[in-house]
Amino acid sequence: MTISTDMDAREVLAERLVDGVTGAMETLGVYLGVELGLYRALADLGGATEAQLAGRAGVAPRYVREWLEQQAVAGYLACDDPAQPAERRRFRLPEGHAEVLVDADSPYHAAPLALALAGIAGVLPQLVRAYRSGGGVPYVDYGRPLRDGIAAANRPMFLHELATAWLPAVPDVDQRLRSAPPARVLDLGCGLGASSVALARAYPRATVLGVDLDTASVAHARAAAAQAGVADRVSFVVGDAARPAQEASFDLITVFEALHDMGDPVGALRTARDRLAEGGSVLGADER
C-alpha cells in the first residue's frame, strides 16, 4: 500500500507540473500574439492566411505559420480548412475570443495577463540572486510588459465597476464625493492612472492625486488624464505609498489592486490613516 500510494503521489505531482508548464508556454504564445499585434490584425481581417496576417502585422510569414498552428492546436484560434496546404489555411478568432484577446474595454479582457507573466519571467535570474543575497528586484526592472499588463488587466474593472458598484456600495463615501466642498482623494499605487481618471470622471467635484513609485507609470498617467480631459482635477507624483511627501489631508484614500504588490503594505495603510481628514475613509479593493 505504501509503494502504491507513493507512486500515485509522484504521478499526480508530475502530471501537475507537466500541465503547468504546458499552460505557461501556451500563455507565452498569447504574449507573442499581443506584443506583435497578431490578434488585433486577425480580428481586423476577420480571417486570414499566414501570408495575409504576416503582411498586416509586419511579421515574417514562417514565424506566423508557427504561431497560427500552435494557437489553433491550443484552442485560441480556429482553422477553417486544416486539410489545405499550410500556406492556404485560413485562421480566425472563434466567437467570443476577440473580447478576451483584443477588446481593451471588455470585462473579459484577460490577454494582458500574458504580458504580466512575461515581465515576471524576465527577472527570474535577478530573483535567484535576490534570494541568495537577501536583496530585492526593483519594479522598474520588470519592464514595460508587466507595467502594461497589470494596467490593461485592471482597466476594465475601473471602467465598468469603480463608480457603478464599488463606491456606491459605500454610501457615505459616495455621497461625500458628490458633495461640497470638493472632496480630496489620494489614490495610492495608481499605476498608469486608470483608477484616478475613473474617479475624477465619475465625481466631477472631486480632485484626485495619484501616487506611484514608478516614474514611467506616472508619466503615462499624466498623459491619460490629459487625454480624458480631467488634468485640471487629477495630478500625479512619483512617491512611496508608505512615505508620501504630501502633508495634506484627504477625504478619501484609495488603494486599488496594489496593496498586495507593495513592499510595506502595513506602512502604506498606516500612512493612509494618518493622512485622513476628519471623517475620511480609506478604501481598498484587492483580490479575495
How far is the CA of 190 from the CAs of 67, 102, 147, 187, 241, in angstroms? 35, 24, 12, 6, 10
Residue 109's pLDDT is what? 97
Q: Tell me whether strands 234-238 and 250-256 are parallel, antiparallel or unpaired.
A: unpaired
C-alpha cell at 273: 490613516
Whether the CB-CB separation of 218 and 151 falls below 8 Å is answered with no
C-alpha cell at 87: 500556406
pLDDT above 60 for 23: yes
Give dist(CA 172, CA 158) in Å, integer: 20
Of 208, 203, 192, 197, nearest to 164 by C-alpha is 203
Give dist(CA 169, CA 179) in Å, integer: 17
pTM of this prediction? 0.89
Residues 267-273 have a mean pLDDT of 92
Give dist(CA 79, CA 73) in Å, integer: 9
Residue 112's pLDDT is what? 97
Whether the ω angle into residue 204 lies within 30 degrees of 0, i.e. cis, is no
Chain centroid to Cα 171, Å, comes to 28
Give dist(CA 112, CA 279) in Å, integer: 38
Of 280, 190, 182, nearest to 237 by C-alpha is 190
32-79: pLDDT as tens digits:
999 999 999 999 999 999 999 999 999 999 999 999 999 999 999 999
Beta bridge partners of 254: 187, 283
Residue 207's pLDDT is what? 97
What are phi and psi for residue 252, nearest 5 degrees? -145, 135
- Whole-angstrom distance between the N-terminal and C-terminal Cα of the chain? 39
212-263: pLDDT as tens digits:
999 999 999 999 999 999 999 999 999 988 876 667 899 999 999 999 989 8
Long-range contacts of 97-106 (CB under 8 A, 24+ apart): 98/39, 98/43, 101/30, 101/33, 101/34, 101/39, 101/43, 101/76, 102/39, 102/40, 102/43, 104/152, 104/155, 104/156, 105/155, 105/156, 105/159, 106/156
Confidence of residue 5 (pLDDT cuts 50, 70, 90): low
Give dist(CA 64, CA 67) in Å, integer: 5
pLDDT above 70 for 3: no
Residue 287's pLDDT is what? 81
